[in-house]
Structure 1
Amino acid sequence: MRSGALRIANVTFALLLCPVAAWGWGDDGHKIVAVIAANNLTPAASSQVAEILGASAADKRAIAYAMEAASILPDTEFREEDKSTAPWHFIDICLQDHRADVAARCPEGKCVTGKIDEYSKRLKEIRYDHWGAKGDLAFLIHFVGDIHQPLHAANDADRGGNCVPVDSHSRETNLHATWDTTVVRRLEYSIDSGRPETTAHKLEQIYAAEKGADSWIAPDDIAWESNQVARTDIYGALQIPLEPCQPTANVCVNPAGHPIELDSSYLEHADTLAGHQLAKAGFRLASLLNEIWTQPAAPTHATGNSAPAEVPSATTVDSQIVFVGNRRSKIYAWPGCGSYDRMAPANRVVFQSRETAEQNGYRAARNCP
C-alpha cells in the first residue's frame, strides 16, 4: 500500500503529464475506419453519405475521401467550437465493473455509447441538431472509431491511460497517446507506406473473413468488448495495478507509480491488436450506416446545415474542398497532396477555400497535383 504522501505526489505528477482531452486513434486511425466503412456501404447508404458530405455518388473514391475528412472534424473543429463535446468520445468503465454496470457509466447519455445511439437516430429520422447533417454524420463516424479504441472504454483512475507515463522511445509520453498515435503509425508503416488509405485496404483484405461476423451490435456491447481488450491486453499485459473505481472523481493517478516500459514485443502485439480493432470498427460502421439508410437519397433530400466535404483532387471546384493548413509552416494542402496526411493534429487549421487560406498568409504545398 502506498503512503498518503506518495499517492499525492503520484497524482500531482500524473496531472502534469496527462492532456485535457483524449484523441481516439488520432487522425490516421479514424481515416482508416472511414475508408474501410466507405468500401463496404450498400448503394443506398453510399448515395445518402455522398449527398450529405457533398461527394459524387458515382465516385467511390470521392465518398471515401469525404468520409475521411468528416471523421476527424470532431477532433479538429467541433471540440474547439464546443468543449462540452469532449466527454462524448469515451465511456469510463472501471476495470472492476461487470457488463450490467455499463449503462450506468453513461450518465444522461453524454458519453460515446449514448452519442452513437443519438446520432444514429438523428440521421435515420432526418432530425439533425445544430451541427447539421454533415456534423451529425461526422460525429457518428468518429464515435464508432472511438469506441473501438480500448482505452476509450476503460478507467483505472488514470483517465484511460492518459495519466500513465511511458518509456517507449517514441514522442508520445503517455499510454493513451501511444495507443492513439504511435501504435497506429507503426501499424501503417509495417503494412505499407504509412498512408491511411493503403493501410485501410490492406486491413480489409487481412480481415475479410470476419466481415460477415462484424455486423452492428449495441454500443454498450461494443464498449464492454473494448473494455475486456483493455483489461487483458493493456492493463493486464503491462501488469498495471488495479485502482479503486472512481469514474466520476476528478483524479489522475498513475497506478504503476512509475513510467511503463513498452518494449518492441509489446508494441508489435499492440500493432496487430489495433489493426484488428480498426478493421472491426470499419466493418461495423458500414453495417450501421447500411441499417440507417435502406433507400438511396432523393435528389431533393434535405441535409440541414451540411457543408461540402473534401474530395480527391484539386481539379474539383475549390468550394468543394476543405483545405488544411499547417500553423507552423504556413503551407496549405488538399486531398491528393503528399503532405496532406502528414500534418500533426496540433498544427492543423482548416480553410474552406484557397482564397481564405492565402488571405491568412498560407501558400499552397508544392507537392500538390
Structure 2
Amino acid sequence: MNAVHKRRTIATLLALALPAFASVHAWGDIGHRIVAELAWRQLDPTAKAEIQRLLGETGSADPLPDIASWPDRLRDDPATKALGKATGPLHYMDFVDGKCHYVPARDCADGKCVVGGLEKYVAILGDRHKSQAERAEALKFVVHFVGDVHQPLHAGNRDDKGGNDYQVQFDGKGTNLHSVWDSKMLYTRDLKWPAYADRLAAQGPVQLPKPQAPLDNPYAQWAEESCAIVATDGFYPDSHTIDDAYVAKQLPVAETRLREAGKRLADLLNKTLD
C-alpha cells in the first residue's frame, strides 16, 4: 500500500467513525470546531467575557468549539427534537437561478433559510432585554450558522439536497459529495481540529471578499459566495470520483472558507457583544 493510499484509508476510517448526523450537516464536527476556534482567537476581551458569562463558563478556556455543533445534535435528544425540527430549514438555502442571486421572498420565504436564521439569532443575541438562556441559545445558533453558510453545498443551486444525492467514489468507497465536503476531504490532512486550526491560523489574516453592491445583507453575500463556488466547473466531478487531483484543487477552497468563516464570526460577535 503506497503512502497516499494509506493516508486516504486512515482518513476514511476516521470520517466513518463520526456520528451519523455528520454526513448531512455542514463541515461535520471538525469544520465547525475549526471555525469556532479561529473566531475565538480573533475576539476582543469584552466579547470573550460576555460569551463565557452567557455560557456559564469561567476562566480563560475557549468554549466556542464545544458548542459549535450543538444545533446538529438537537434531533438526537427527545428534549430538543422539536427545536431541531423547527430550525432544520435554517441550516441551508437553495438558490433557484443559475446566477446565485439572492431574492429574499423567493429564496428565503418566511425567513426559513440560513440567511434568515442568522438574521433571527443575531438579533436575539444582541438584545440585552432577552434572558441569558435565550441569548446563550442564540449564540450557539449564530456560531453554527456562520459555519453552515460558508460550506458551499449549504447554499447551492442544484436540486440534489446539497450534494447528498450526488454519489461519488472516494478512496474506493461509495459516498456522496456532501459528505466529502463535510469532513472526508478535511480529514485527508490527518490533523485533529486544534492542530488544523493552528495550521490555518499560521497562514495569517484572511483577505475577505469585498462587500457586494447593491446587496446590503452580509449573510446573503456569504451564501452567494458559496453558491458561486458550487457553480464552478469541476466542483461536481463528471467522473463521480474524488481523486487526488480533485482534493488538491478543492481542499484549499474549503480551507479558505473555514478561514473566512472564522474571521467573519469573530467580527460579528465582536460587533454584537460589545
Q: What's the TM-score once normalised by structure 2's chain length?
A: 0.80
Q: Does 1:287 align with 2:267?
A: yes
Separation (CA, whole Å) in 2 of partners of 1:35 and 1:97? 33
Residue 275 of structure 1 pairs with residue 252 of structure 2 = no
Q: What residue in structure 2 maps to residue 179 of structure 1?
A: 181
User: Residue in 2 aligned with 1:247?
Assistant: none
Matches within 5 A, 1:87-98: 87-94=89-96, 96-98=98-100
Q: Does 1:229 align with 2:229?
A: yes
5 Å-filtered alignment, 1:95-106, equals 96-101=98-103, 104-106=106-108
Cα distance in 1 for partners of 2:102, 2:220 equals: 10
Preserved contact between residue 153 and residue 162 of structure 2 (Cα < 8 Å): yes
Task: Please give the alpha-carbon distance, in whole angstroms, between the structure 2 residues aligned to 1:108 and 1:212.
Answer: 28
Residue type of the partner of 1:220?
A
Q: Which has the higher contact order (CA 8 A, sep 6+)?
A: 2
Name the residue aligned to 2:12.
none
Is the 8 Å Cα contact of residues 91 and 106 (structure 1) preserved in structure 2? yes
Aligned partner of 2:207 in structure 1 is 210
| Offset, 1:93 | 1.1
Q: Give 1:327's aligned residue.
A: none
Q: Hey, what's the Cα distance between the residues in 2 that align with 1:129 and 1:162? A: 38
Residue matched to 2:194: 197
What is the alpha-carbon distance in structure 2 between the residues aligned to residue 77 and residue 181 of structure 1?
20
Establish whether residue 67 from structure 1 lines up as the match of residue 69 from structure 2.
no
Supply the distance in 2 between the matched residues of 1:199 and 1:175 (Cα, whole angstroms). Answer: 22
Other structure's SS at 1:200 match? helix
Aligned CA RMSD, in angstroms, stands at: 2.8
Give structure 1 regions of 4+ aligned residues with deviation exceeding 4 angstroms.
127-131, 211-214
Opposite residue 188 of structure 2, the aligned amino acid is R
Distance 2:242 2:42 in 1: 35
How many residues end up aligned between the 2 structures? 245
Tell me the residue number matched to 1:109. 111
Stretches of structure 1 lacking an aligned partner (at least 5 in a row): 1-18, 241-255, 295-369
Q: Which residue of 1 aligns with 2:242?
A: 262
User: 1: CA distance between counterparts of 2:139 and 2:182?
Assistant: 22
Conserved 8 A contact 1:153-1:227: yes
- For residues 239 and 160 of structure 1, the distance between their equivalents in structure 2, rounded to whole angstroms, comes to 11
After superposing the two structures, state which structure 1 stretch, 259-268 or 25-34, moved more. Answer: 259-268
Comparing 268-277 with 201-210, which one deviates more in the overlay?
A: 201-210
In the alignment, the residues of structure 2 paired with residue 277 and residue 149 of structure 1 have an alpha-carbon distance, to the nearest angstrom, of 7
TM-score by length of 1: 0.61
Match of 2:28 in 1: 26
Q: Does the C-alpha gap of structure 1 residues 211 and 155 become closer, same or farther in structure 2, counting only changes over 3 Å?
A: closer
Report SS of the residue matched to 1:208: coil
**Which ranges in structure 2 are unaligned for 5 or more consecutive residues?**
1-20
Structure 1 residues 100, 113: closer, same or farther in 2, change over 3 A? closer
Any idea what SS the aligned residue of 1:125 has?
coil
In structure 2, the CA distance between the partners of 1:20 and 1:86, relative to structure 1 (3 Å rule), is: farther
Q: Which whole-Å CA distance do the structure 2 matches of 1:103 and 1:43 have between them?
A: 38
Note if 1:219 corresponds to 2:219: yes
Deviation at 1:141, TM superposition (A): 0.2
Match of 2:146 in 1: 144
- Contact in 1 for aligned 2:34/2:258 (Cα 8 Å): yes
Q: Give the helix-richer structure, 1 or 2.
A: 2
Superimposed CA distance per residue, residues 54-93 of structure 1 (whole angstroms, 9 cap, x where no aligned partner) = 222x51xx12xx1111101111235652222221100011
Alpha-carbon distance between aligned partners in 2 of 1:202 and 1:213, rounded to the nearest angstrom: 25
